[in-house]
Structure 1
Amino acid sequence: MPENTSRRGLLFGAAAVSTGAFLTACTSNDPKESSDDDAKDAPVADEKPGKKVTIGFAGPQADHGWLNAINVQARARAKKYKDVTLEITEGSNDTAAQIGQIDTLINKKVDVLVILPADGKAMTQAGLKAMRAGIPVVNLDRIFDNPQAYRCWVGGDNYGMGLNAGHFIGEQLKDKKNAKVVELAGVDNLELTKQRTQGFDAALKNYPNIKKVARQAADFTVESGQSKMSQLLQAQKSFDALWNHDDDQGVGALRAIKQAGRDEFLMVGGAGAKSAMDAIKADNSVLKATVLYPPTMAASAIDLARALGQDKGISGLAEFEIPTSLTLYSAVVTKDNVEEYLPTGFK
């Protein structure tokens, strides 16, 4: 299909029909004329310079270690490619402000947009506007509530994060009678927090000897982690394990634990901060593991955006087009494998 008609007409139009139709309609070769031999030579993105691509990147304000790592990963990945120009916004937690930033990137006619929305549901129209303008959107982490608002979604597995934390704790306590666990959750009105708790609870159902006896919701900050953990420690005179959703608030939680002089339990963190990995490596606190929510997803989003801008697929896959979604795995980092994951730890 001619390049001048394929992007605007089929980018949004095919998505409006279905994701499957999009994959069929926008391949680089006409499927009716392709043979098995053609499929073997499907164009794929690689590190060699190709068609120049301008990628617009719009994310929330980097007021948290993980969010800052998202920006760092995106910038570093873009610099890796000589054919990529990155237009990055300042970032804002205000939905209206972020929508304005996306409008600016659309008006600049960037080739592809990578968006980590402050609020996926509230910003769906921004994604739709970009797609209608013929600009493919890579929706990062917080998902829009309409699949027509993005070409590809890439993000973490919040349910899997809780599931893996629960299974790790379960295996550590499987031989202990009447084991008790507590949970220090994140922001309760966020869907990701609910999913992490749901995964954790689902895993614990496999261990009838373990009971969750308390749960507190914090706010992903050091201060909230310390105050909420203090409340948990005061209410629970003894327990065997703690699942903490976020390593930033975990810094505060560890302070509260140290101040209380408690060490009868093991702690599992979440996200993969460098401070958590350092503590796991040192093995001198209750923190024995952290479950990753990899900020490397931002680097992957740049890879996918570049491939979209160059009308290419992904090396290692037979598909002519990039997939519509990519969910990252939440690995459990312990003392046994921390050296492998330490380079990915964020500050």
Structure 2
Amino acid sequence: MTEQAHHTPTTRRGILFGAAAVSAGALLTACTSNESNGRAATSDDRQAGGLDDKPGKHVTIGFAGPQADHGWLNAINVNAKSRARRYKDVTLEITEGSNDTAQQIGQIETLINKKVDVLVILPADGKALTQVGLKAMRAGIPVVNLDRVFAPPQAYRCWIGGDNYGMGLNAGHYIGEQLKDKKHATVVELAGIDNLELTRQRTKGFDDALKNYPHIEKVGRQAAEFTVESGQSKMAGLLQAHPSFDALWNHDDDQGVGAERAIEQAGRDGFLMVGGAGSRKAMDTIKAGDSVLKATVLYPPTMSASAIDLARALAQGKGIGGMAELEIPASLTLYSAVVTKDNVDDYLPTGFH
């Protein structure tokens, strides 16, 4: 059971530090769209509904995003910018984006000094940037913490992000159902960077799902680095070590490009591949149906568009349409949908390059 905040007149700083935590697992469309058909779309592809999009008090949102050195990270920046353009009452102050913690801290402190109304931050390192999140909150600037979480909840007003455990869980269930009629099946895993908590969560979810399918055995695992080159070299190693297997779970569609190259070079088929994140290339390949890649599990970069919605709502004192509470939730975990040939057309607009 979650505790809900009482709506009482208070200071801005009191709202930031006194709001009770409300956890909410939600589809992205639940907080950003009035559409009832469940179709996923980018921020430019659908009306900016769900949250009240009638023009209100002008809001300046500071956005401290990542360095766009990966397809998913670039999509984070693109979705935030395009969403902000939908609102006539929003000005977006954007930093250059950095994976260097000291540089990003300096950029965020500049936004604090500019007295922006609200901050949206995807930290290069959540723990390392906790103090600057706390600094903003103490200055009365609400923080929407995007994906990589700050250490204590006091450093942000609202967290929104993906479900790494759910990615692995849903990948495992999909593979399990595809192989349920095989008496003894084997799978291999091409993970991401092993010292990241997100990688460990994706593996744990996958392993937990496979417990429901005792006839399936995971026989191999290699950790890559979320790059095309590492995906190709590590997949080549898996293929060499395992002359046959029935399924492959690959954590990331960018490194999956390299994995597919290794598979083609080895002339291998006879197994199914499930990717992760939801790139446009992966979705196009799934739709074409001429590859071992049969599905990808989403980690939606459109979360940054929703973060802009939430930041605007915080600054204007609004809640989320379709929810009874007067305040926005303290936490929103996005669902990791499995995209297959059957539903790929619904998700194509969200695919990132």
State TM-score, norm by structure 1. 0.90
Whole-Å separation in 2 of the counterparts to 1:208 and 1:291: 22
Q: Would the aligned equivalents of 2:63 and 2:95 in 1 still touch at CA under 8 Å?
A: yes
Whole-Å separation in 1 of the counterparts to 2:21 and 2:293: 43
Report 1:32-111 matches (<5 A). 45-111=51-117
Q: Which runs of 4+ in 1 moved over 3 A?
A: none
Tell me which residue corresponds to 1:35: none
Cα deviation code 1:237-277 (max 9, x no counterpart): 10000000000000000000000000011000000000000
Relative to its length, the structure with more helix (as a share) is 1
Letter of the 1:292 partner, please give it: L
* Pairwise CA RMSD: 1.4
Q: Does residue 307 of structure 1 match 2:309? A: no
For residue 6 of structure 1, the aligned residue among 7, 11, 19 is 11
Q: Does residue 188 of structure 1 match 2:194? A: yes
Report 1:251-330 matches (<5 A). 251-330=257-336
- Greater relative contact order (Cα < 8 A, sep 6+): 2
Mark the CA change 1:192 to 1:105 in structure 2 (over 3 Å): closer, same or farther.
Answer: same
SS in 2 for 1:81: coil
Whole-Å separation in 1 of the counterparts to 2:342 and 2:15: 49
Letter of the 1:19 partner, please give it: A
Tell me which residue corresponds to 2:249: 243
Deviation of 1:9 (Å): 4.0
User: Percent of pairs identical after alignment?
Assistant: 81
Q: Does residue 209 of structure 1 match 2:215? A: yes
Report 1:156-235 matches (<5 A). 156-235=162-241
For residue 125 of structure 2, the aligned residue among 116, 119, 136 is 119
Task: Give the count of matched residue pairs.
Answer: 320
State TM-score, norm by structure 2. 0.89
Deviation of 1:2 (Å): 11
Structure 1 unmatched ranges of 5 or more: 21-43
Cα deviation code 1:30-53 (max 9, x no counterpart): xxxxxxxxxxxxxx9412110100
Q: Would the aligned equivalents of 2:52 and 2:318 in 1 still touch at CA under 8 Å?
A: no
Whole-Å separation in 2 of the counterparts to 1:95 and 1:105: 15
Letter of the 1:54 partner, please give it: T
Letter of the 1:8 partner, please give it: R
Whole-Å separation in 2 of the counterparts to 1:75 and 1:197: 32
Q: Does residue 133 of structure 1 match 2:130? A: no
Letter of the 2:99 partner, please give it: N
SS in 2 for 1:237: coil
SS in 2 for 1:180: strand
Mark the CA change 1:244 to 1:9 in structure 2 (over 3 Å): closer, same or farther.
Answer: same
Letter of the 2:294 partner, please give it: K
Whole-Å separation in 2 of the counterparts to 1:301 and 1:182: 35
Whole-Å separation in 1 of the counterparts to 2:166 and 2:326: 29
Cα deviation code 1:192-219 (max 9, x no counterpart): 0000000000000000100000100000
Letter of the 2:236 partner, please give it: S
